[in-house]
């Protein structure tokens, strides 16, 4: 098949380094991958085209880049599946990380974050006489996360990292989960309290927007976002609840559990730690006032759905720890 590959290029040694687009026409067999096309271009048309690759089999994790705007492994992407109506495909370097040249990016920030989560087992207490014992199920469960090949596709497409480089990000957090979920890590019950405490701080698990970009980008099914959600559950269960993220989740669940629907007025108030958090409350005031004057304030008196007992029964049964008397329903002052 005859295809056009549109590549975003960058040469740091040019007089005025600036990224630009270059198109290549190339003929390939129908079953070719995007990587096949790039290698053919480099070998036959333009030796200056720079990219990373090694295994060509989705194992080494070198060839993550953006294909038609979304991160993927070039060697795992069949060209025929990404061509548009004009038989063209757009290839760019991975996002978030700084471009070195053409399709190669600087992975230093990636590795810094992996290092920051201390990616090695940290068992506490006295060493056992023999080996550390872990059940089969617990390790099988972890095989999904250990499948990570550190290609950086998730980091490339992370919506938070795009605006905030301090966020630990999907790859490092999934790596952290690999240890918090390991029964050998942490205290005798397998709870990694120190890690969960650290991860609950700003730049950690609660900064994720749940946008699912990393789940789509990961070529190995690691589903980093799902691991971050599991970390949130672990952190809350370990008692690390004094933060806006954990409060938000609990307040949301309480509102829906008691009334069937979301009380939009109470939620932000409870999330920032209640009406007593004057600073945070004031920061919402201009927006609240604007909403009020435009006639779009949520109803002050939040109504329950009909036969709300049925919802509350489920609440009591499925979320017994949170179920309790309604506090401050529908009024920040009551």
Partner 1 sequence: MKYAFFPGCVSQGAAPELYPAARLICQRLGIELEEIPAWTCTGAGVMQEKNQLFGDTLNARNFAKAERMGLPILTICSTCQGVMSQANLRMKRDPEYLAQINSYLAEEGLEYKGTAEPKHLLWILIEDVGLDKVLELVTRPLAGIRMAPFYGCYIVRPTEALDIEEHPERQTSLETLIETLGATVVDFAGKTRCCGFPILTINEKNSMAMVGKHTSEAKDLGADAMVTPCPLCHLNLDGYQPKASAQLRRKVDLPILHLPQLIGLAMGISPQELGLQKHIMNTQPLAMKLGAAR
Binding residues vs ligand FES (CB under 6 A):
53-56, 58-63, 73, 75
Residue 83 in contact with partner 1, rule: CB under 8 A: no
- For the chain, the C-alpha Rg in angstroms (whole number) is 25
Residue 298 in contact with partner 1, rule: CB under 8 A: yes
Q: Which of 25, 291, 324, 327 binds partner 1 (CB under 8 A)?
A: 291
Stretch that binds partner 1, among 113-121, 132-140, 181-189, 309-317 (CB under 8 A): 309-317
Query: 72 near 79, Cβ under 8 Å?
Result: no
Query: 80 near 1, Cβ under 8 Å?
Result: yes
Stretch that binds partner 1, among 54-62, 114-122, 127-135, 287-295 (CB under 8 A): 287-295
Residue 294 in contact with partner 1, rule: CB under 8 A: yes
Residues 224-283 that bind partner 1 (CB under 8 A): 229, 232-233, 236, 243-245, 248-250, 252-253, 256-257, 260-262, 264, 267-268, 271-272, 283
Q: Which of 56, 60, 6 lies closest to 33, judged by CA?
A: 56
Which of ligand FES, partner 1, none is residue 306 near (CB under 5 to 8 Å by kind)? Answer: partner 1
Q: How far apart are the first and last CA of the chain?
A: 70
Q: What angle do CA 249, 231, 62 make, to 5 degrees?
A: 130
| Closest approach of ligand FES to the CB of residue 220, in Å | 10
Q: Which of 60, 43, 66, 62 lies closest to 51, judged by CA?
A: 62
Residues 156-185 that bind partner 1 (CB under 8 A): 159-160, 162-164, 167
Which tokens go with 164? 């905030």
Which tokens go with 8? 């975003």
Query: 157 near 213, Cβ under 8 Å?
Result: yes
Q: Which of 89, 72, 207, 77 lies closest to 152, judged by CA?
A: 72
Contacting positions for partner 1 (CB under 8 A): 69, 159-160, 162-164, 167, 202, 206-213, 215-216, 229, 232-233, 236, 243-245, 248-250, 252-253, 256-257, 260-262, 264, 267-268, 271-272, 283, 286-287, 290-291, 294-299, 305-307, 310-311, 313-315, 317-319
């Amino acid at each position: 098949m005859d295809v056009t590959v549109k590549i975003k290029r960058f040469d740091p040694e040019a007089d005025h380094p600036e990224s630009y687009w270059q198109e290549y026409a190339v003929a390939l067999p129908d079953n070719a991958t995007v990587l096949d096309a790039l290698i053919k271009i480099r070998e036959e048309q333009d030796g200056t085209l720079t990219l990373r690759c090694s295994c060509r089999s989705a194992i080494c994790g070198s060839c993550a880049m953006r294909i038609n705007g979304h991160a993927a492994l070039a060697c795992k992407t069949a060209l025929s599946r990404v061509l548009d109506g004009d038989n063209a495909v757009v290839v760019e370097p991975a996002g978030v990380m700084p471009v070195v040249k053409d399709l190669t990016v600087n992975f230093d920030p990636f590795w810094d974050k992996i290092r920051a989560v201390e990616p090695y087992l940290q068992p506490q207490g006295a060493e056992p006489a023999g080996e550390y014992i872990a059940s089969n199920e617990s390790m099988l469960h972890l095989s999904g996360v250990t499948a990570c090949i550190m290609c950086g596709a998730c980091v490339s497409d992370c919506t938070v990292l795009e605006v905030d480089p301090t966020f630990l990000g999907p790859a490092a957090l999934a790596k952290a989960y690999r240890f918090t979920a390991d029964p050998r890590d942490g205290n005798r019950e397998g709870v990694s309290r120190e890690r969960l405490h650290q991860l609950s701080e700003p730049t950690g698990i609660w900064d994720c927007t749940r946008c699912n970009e990393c789940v789509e980008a990961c070529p190995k099914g690691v589903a980093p976002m799902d691991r971050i959600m599991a970390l949130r559950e672990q952190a809350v269960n370990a008692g690390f609840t004094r933060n806006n993220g954990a409060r938000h989740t609990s307040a949301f669940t309480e509102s829906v559990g008691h009334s069937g629907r979301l009380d939009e007025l109470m939620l932000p108030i409870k999330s920032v730690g209640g009406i007593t958090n004057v600073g945070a409350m004031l920061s919402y005031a201009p927006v609240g006032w604007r909403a009020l004057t435009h006639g779009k304030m949520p109803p002050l008196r939040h109504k329950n759905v009909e036969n709300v007992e049925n919802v509350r029964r489920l609440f009591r049964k499925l979320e017994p720890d949170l179920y309790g008397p309604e506090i401050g329903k529908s009024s920040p002052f009551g």
